[in-house]
Amino acid sequence: VKGDKHGAAPWQFFDLDSDPGQLTNLLDDPDYLDEIVRHHSELRAIIETGDDLFALEPAFGCDGINQPYVSPD
C-alpha cells in the first residue's frame, strides 16, 4: 500500500467515547496528534518486544519496524 502524508495508508483514529460509530476519522485533527503518536509508539514497542514480524511503516514522525529492505539502486 502506498502511503500518504502520514506514512503507510490507510491510517484511522477515532475517539470511541464521543464517536462510538467511528464516523469521524480524527487523523488530521491537530488536537489528537499527541495521542496518535503515543498509539503508534506503543504499537511499535509491542511489535518489538513480541518478536513480531509485522511491518509497521514510519508515520507521524515515529520510526517504523520490520520494514522490507529496498535496494537503493
How do residues 12-68 score in pLDDT, each as one tens digit? Answer: 889 999 999 989 989 889 999 999 889 888 888 888 887 777 777 777 787 777 766
Whether residue 22 contacts residue 14, with contact meaning beta carbons closer than 8 Å, is answered with yes
Task: Indicate if the alpha-carbon torsion angle 26, 31, 29, 2 is positive or negative.
Answer: negative
Q: According to the model, what pLDDT value does residue 4 have? A: 59
- Backbone φ and ψ for 47, nearest 5 degrees, come out as -60, -45
